[in-house]
């Protein structure tokens, strides 16, 4: 029987790409999001690759989280994979952070990951099988001047991944994460608006000499959902083309030998 993958934030962007990869691999997929019009459009488009269904869910609302898992099982009879992809970016100077803004980022990027995972685990524990994949960022480790709320939530996601990983491994549930570097998506498109040469500049300071595409993390997420990753527990896999291990002080003027 085909396995079922539940992906949050799947109406567009990276979530949509993840969904396409899972469908092509033979999974049935639930696309969860709050963007109903876009979500239904994506469902129609991706149905060419396999069984999928859009379900409205605000991951910050407890009732929505519980209903999402219930609807997933009602639709497809099981839930083997949860990808906690839903999230928001936040670029703001420390002096401008209000308590409301801080709480908003925490609710979506951090709190929802833990509590939706708990809902999914209720099903996965009974099955004695499950894969939970969270999404974090190198900004969880490398600080700058404008991403404090975002970075704090992404560091928390790494900790949640580790704790849930060791707590649920005995039930056959693997909890891991991907840490994503710069990938050109609708969420990051503002960089191009601010600087038309952004892609060239970023590519030049990546060891792989290119900006990552949504296909890059999608392949890793699909791997973490597979049985081949059954020995990985609480791990965070960095998918950033080597950017985060490059000496950033020298990166802008990093010399490369001629081909």
Is residue 150 flagged as an active site residue? yes
18, 21, 54, 150: the catalytic one is: 150
What is the chain's length?
A: 259
Give dist(CA 32, CA 54) in Å, integer: 6
Tokens 């994503």 sit on residue: 180
The neighbouring-strand residues paired with 132 are 82, 175
Give dist(CA 93, CA 117) in Å, integer: 31
Which residues, other chains included, contact 207 with Cβ-Cβ below 8 Å and sequence gap of 6+? 241, 242, 243, 246
SS3 141: coil
CA-wise closest residue to 47 among 59, 39, 58: 39
Q: Which residues are catalytic?
A: 150
């Amino acid at each position: 029987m085909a396995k079922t993958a539940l992906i949050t934030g799947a109406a567009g962007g990276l979530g949509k790409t993840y969904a396409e990869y899972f469908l092509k691999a033979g999974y049935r997929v639930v696309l969860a999001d709050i963007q109903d019009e876009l979500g239904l459009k994506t469902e129609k488009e991706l149905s060419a690759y396999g069984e999928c269904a859009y379900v409205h869910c605000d991951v910050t609302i407890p009732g929505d989280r519980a209903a999402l898992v219930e609807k997933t099982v009602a639709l497809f009879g099981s839930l083997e994979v949860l990808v906690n992809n839903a999230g928001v970016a936040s670029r703001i100077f420390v002096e401008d952070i209000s308590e409301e803004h801080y709480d908003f980022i925490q609710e979506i990027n951090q709190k929802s990951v833990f509590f939706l995972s708990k809902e999914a685990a209720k099903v996965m524990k009974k099955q004695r099988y499950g894969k939970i994949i969270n999404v974090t960022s190198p900004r969880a480790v490398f600080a700058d001047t404008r991403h404090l709320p975002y970075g704090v939530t992404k560091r928390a996601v790494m900790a949640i991944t580790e704790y849930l990983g060791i707590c649920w491994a005995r039930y056959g549930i693997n909890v891991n994460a991907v840490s994503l570097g710069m990938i050109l998506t609708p969420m990051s498109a503002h960089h191009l608006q601010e600087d038309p040469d952004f892609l060239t500049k970023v590519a030049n300071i990546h060891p792989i000499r290119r900006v990552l595409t949504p296909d890059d993390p999608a392949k890793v997420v699909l791997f973490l959902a597979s049985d081949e990753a059954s020995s990985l527990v609480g791990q965070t896999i960095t998918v950033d083309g080597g950017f985060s291990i490059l000496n950033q002080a020298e990166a802008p003027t990093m010399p490369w030998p001629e081909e």
